Amino acid sequence: MHDLLRDKARRAQGRPAAPSAAVFDAQSVKTDTSVPTRSQGIDAGKKIAGRKRSIITDTLGLLLAVLVTAASVQDSMEWCAS
């Protein structure tokens, strides 16, 4: 359903349904103490223990993908495993 709505929105803007470029962004966030430690990590650069949420959008800002990992996973490696 999401893909169909995104394609329709892209066509309404005069763009092809399939995006040809994308924007990637990631943010490390602290987790609560009740979160299991096996699903957390430490972002050494930001000194944050928790998780990292990453998104990919097309050039219109429409969501293409979301991924949540331990904060210790490097940005360049996140999408390789998924």
Q: What is the pLDDT of residue 30?
A: 85
Can you give the pLDDT at residue 64?
93
Distance spanning both ends of the chain, measured CA to CA: 21
Residue type at 62 in one-letter notation: L
Residues 25-82: tens digit of each pLDDT: 888 888 877 777 777 787 777 788 888 889 999 999 999 999 988 888 777 666 665 5
Largest CA distance in the chain: 47
What's residue 6's pLDDT? 93
pTM flag (> 0.85): no
Contact 69, 81 (CB under 8 A): no
